[in-house]
Structure 1
């Protein structure tokens, strides 16, 4: 079955239920992995799948990103039982994974403090704290996390399963644009993390290594959503005897910007050198994020009264754009990262 047919049959009928948080498309997500739509070491293929799914539903594309972000943690781990064993279970749909790194990614840029802390007792590793929102998670799902030592500056990255002793989940179902993504607050109270679940005791270096792919996998989420909103604009361009021609939105300029960003993105992906392209990826995510907000707003106005129904695709896409703007690294976080990279480059050149 083609990806487009699978989306039409197994995802599109549930779009309204996803938006209203009464449906998490777990079966659809699992089917994509079980049927081999995602491939190990083939980011070109994987981002195209995310883009195609996100054209229909950004929330589901985001959940796929969560899966692949977790896969990135496993891939970069040194332990064979993680980078081969657990990785294969994830890629074949046997297990689900979530990211859990929103807070640490912000903390590394001094935007937040680390929410999780750890200590050692009798040689064992225990974690405490709260993560306000982790998506694509369920009681048996895995997620990655980073904790800071109670006693020093040690930062440890580990994976954990949500049904381990000491973990409590609190469902979040009232966030704009993120409903249907299985988002939960996670509280950890004296959670014992076995040694075989610890990825590294140098989490900052590890996070720096994975962040280019972390961001690269987010960009197709917005690419798909932008394409969907542009298509909606064209679909209703002749509404009410062509009244939309008097709107001052430059749709052709949107199309040009979209094509340019998409072409630049896939050129980077095909070079297979993401480790040295973090600055370029930051700029691309920022550009597509702002374009998504603009195009979704134009689509709402272009759609007329029909677009203002809570169940209208234009209204759903509008919320999707707001959510993407808040996806770590957020638009404002991207701006800070871009400024820091620019300052570093200037200092280096001098």
Structure 2
């Protein structure tokens, strides 16, 4: 059967032909590689690099010609493990940067290895994304030198990293010009250090580190874009839309958990204000909207950008609401550490706070509305 971008519940997937679809291949790896270790990933005793490479083997990181397929794959992973769905977003975002760069030397050197999962990594855009909207100052500074740049500074949170990984981020030139450069950082560089973060509420096995740059040389074949801002505008919708996979996967599993307790608890759960059918309807609507927006990720219109931001905002709100309802539907059994309902509740807060977080998304919409009104007034 042919690969499609249709979002489907992985438990219902059946291989009906000789060639399984991308979602089917990813679902099979999730069942064999992720389900047995999801609790250990959550607790931080395992960073699932072998599973991430296996997912690369089946094509999970190489579907960006159809962004909908990429999101469908992350969603399928998210049904099993929210932490790995986040790492899937990190890996796919790294590939997204490289794929859309105009640097031919960079593409030739890194695209194949990242898309196949041979080279793992992530995205260090949390601080830059916040800086663009006046929330933080940009933490990395750089200067031009022969054949590249020298970069100094520190990023407090970068995920899906390890000693042989890479990630994309942004520095500002220290010459007062304000120009920004987006680049790939190599964790193996002797002048770049990784410091493990303090334990998290959930998702501890995501390879998240504080990263220190001490005069790190960035050669020209690691420069994604200079200047960076036109490139950021190009890739930003895909960056945000791929996060939908985390929220949609979590929502799917929450509906499944609530349905699973119906046989024993429907007689009392019927008095709860939110039912699995409510979230199933919301899920279907959000899936359809995600696929529609993913079909045109390079649309530069203001209306399109607002639709992407508004959808991502709703995904965070829906994830928290669905996980909360799931806990209430499960009752005491969901309160056990061994039950995934409580893991889903903790994971849902991450969907709401990962950059761009709920508060940043609301600020982005407010800023955008003011800018648009100003442009209209000036016209």
Smaller-chain TM-score range?
over 0.9
**1:200, distance to aligned residue in structure 2 (A):** 2.6
Query: 2:117 matched to 1:93?
Result: yes
Matched ranges for 1:187-202 at <5 A: 187-202=212-227
2:76 is the counterpart of 1:67: no
How far apart are 1:299 and its partner, in Å?
Answer: 0.5
Change in CA separation of 1:112 and 1:238 when aligned onto 2, cut-off 3 Å: same
CA distance in 2, matches of 1:11, 1:123: 42
For the Cα contact (< 8 Å) 2:26–2:58, is it kept in 1?
no
- Matched with 1:182 is 207
The match for 1:209 is 234
Which residue is equivalent to 2:107?
83
Give the C-alpha shift of residue 343 in structure 1. 2.6
Post-superposition offset of 1:258: 1.9
Q: 2:57 aligns with which of 7, 20, 34?
A: 34
Give the aligned length.
350
Aligned-CA RMSD value? 1.9
Q: Provide the residue aligned with 1:15 in structure 2.
A: 38
SS in 2 for 1:246: coil
1:11, CA displacement in angstroms? 0.8
Offset from partner CA, 1:72-101 (integer Å, 9 cap, x none): 211221111223441111111221121011
CA pair 260-193 structure 1, distance change in 2 beyond 3 A: same
Stretches of 4+ aligned residues off by more than 6 angstroms? none
Task: For 2:376 and 2:52, locate their aligned partners in 1 and report how far apart those are by CA, in whole Å.
Answer: 46
1:1-350 matches, within 5 Å, as 2-37=25-60, 38-120=62-144, 125-152=149-176, 153-172=178-197, 174-240=199-265, 242-271=267-296, 274-276=299-301, 277-350=304-377
Structure 2: which 5+ runs fail to align? 1-19
TM-score by length of 1: 0.94
Describe the shift of the 1:217–1:40 C-alpha distance in structure 2 as closer, same or farther (beyond 3 A): closer
Q: In the aligned structure 2, how far is the partner of 1:84 from the partner of 1:62?
A: 26
Shift in CA distance, 142/148, structure 1 to aligned 2, threshold 3 Å: same
Q: Distance in 1 between matches of 2:314 and 2:279?
A: 12
Confirm or deny: 8 A CA contact 1:118 1:148 kept in the other structure.
Answer: yes
Alpha-carbon spacing, 1:274–1:179, altered in 2? closer, same or farther (3 Å): farther
**Deviation larger for 269-278 or 218-227:** 269-278
Per the TM alignment, residue 221 of structure 1 is displaced from its structure 2 partner at its CA by: 1.3
In structure 1, stretches of 5+ residues that fail to align are none
Give per-residue Cα distances to partners, 1:106-156, cap 9 Å, x unaligned: 000010001111234677621111110110011110111211222311211
* Separation of aligned partners in 1, 2:179 and 2:344: 41
Describe the shift of the 1:241–1:320 C-alpha distance in structure 2 as closer, same or farther (beyond 3 A).
closer
